[in-house]
Structure 1
């Protein structure tokens, strides 16, 4: 049994995969309450699957890219659970998981994923559809949507980027956020094929909004 978690986008999303299919999934869209929502979401998803934490054999977590605070909630929770339960924890690029969800709903040859990076920017990656499935062809990276090359801006685009910057990304796809069910299916498929997943470390493409000062001002003794 694999537990999948992602908090890299606006969604707090959790799913359980039994090796054949997703048996339970729960998602809540709230960009400001990742910390409060994740633990109850895990509890409710396990309960819906008829499982206890000790029934899990692995955990997969979206490692971003994503906003600093929300992303850390999912990664730290997954690593803590893995340590407590003695099960492996695998990282998955959250943009790859979102791309896998796009392909679950239709057939395309190439598309873009662009999620909210704040600061008027998007986290983005481009994907090609091959006989072996969806493959990332460019990215991940962070940039202003309008600064992306024209051949990328013209692609069908999943994520919240088209909602935020419709002039730059005019071809919106319906998938807005990562779904843990898609992440679980992506991770389970990779593990079955013997592919290496990522370390459960946050994928930061830039420094966090709040950083300590590099130099401290001297304290006056006068």
Structure 2
């Protein structure tokens, strides 16, 4: 197994190569405005660092969100294009699941916890997990004030709202290394991952103006 993994659903532009056992190379850069500019160089960098020719890849794992439309679509379109060009399957991974996997790997285990990322508009994308890291609720998008307090939480969204997520800590953003490791484990266990379809959870910011009139040809 040789997986190329990347995610653009959070401010982090992150890419990694995984051989089914361990991460061979990983890069992360936090810049919410440059996903399209940074992703392809990041992919090229991890492939070169890992010493892997892209034609040897057996699959692509991509974060499908939830996340803002503009950033998220960069990763999804890139995954679709690469998968088609290389003739390899594209596996979708919920970005919150990848953050949860990173949190458990870093030692957050033994108790249920919540992952929350910043959804803007004073909202968070969130999901809850049991002590074994299995998702039990979500993903969803809500205002933090509408949620009951979550005593154990990780993610940038949790850090923004301490009243709802007291004692929250990192990881703040998704890591492609964790996403790749999660995907590799699921595939090795024979479990299906998600399709390469975005988890937006709400309508995009751009809207057709009210009272818009279509112009028909004369």
Does TM-score exceed 0.5, indicating one fold? yes
Question: Which consecutive aligned stretches of 4+ in structure 1 deviate over 6 angstroms post-superposition?
Answer: none
Corresponding residue SS for 1:4: strand
SS in 1 for 2:100: helix
TM-score by length of 1: 0.92
Deviation at 1:168, TM superposition (A): 2.4
> Quick one: distance in 2 between partners of 1:179 and 1:104?
12
Counterpart position of 2:70:
69
Counterparts of 1:181 and 1:85, CA distance in 2 = 21
Cα distance, 1:212 vs structure 2:
2.6
Q: Distance in 2 between matches of 1:161 and 1:216?
A: 36
Q: Does the 8 A contact of 1:98 with 1:179 survive in 2? A: yes
Alpha-carbon RMSD across the aligned residues, in angstroms, is 1.3
Q: Normalising by structure 2, report the TM-score.
A: 0.94
Q: Which residue of the partner structure matches residue 177 of structure 2?
A: 181
Q: Which residue of 2 aligns with 1:157?
A: 153
- Structure 1: gaps spanning 5 or more residues: none
Name the SS of the counterpart of 2:13 in structure 1.
strand
> How many angstroms does 1:66 deviate by?
0.4
Q: For 2:82 and 2:210, how far apart are their aligned partners in 1?
A: 34
Structure 2 residues not aligned, in runs of 5+: none
Instruction: State the secondary structure of the residue aligned to 2:28.
Output: strand
Partners in 2 of 1:61 and 1:186 — Cα distance?
A: 11
Q: Deviations over 1:41-65 (max 9, x none)?
A: 0000101001121121100000000
Question: For 1:194 and 1:162, how far apart are their aligned partners in 2?
Answer: 32
Counterpart-to-counterpart distance in 2, 1:74 and 1:218: 33
- Deviation (angstroms), 1:39: 0.5
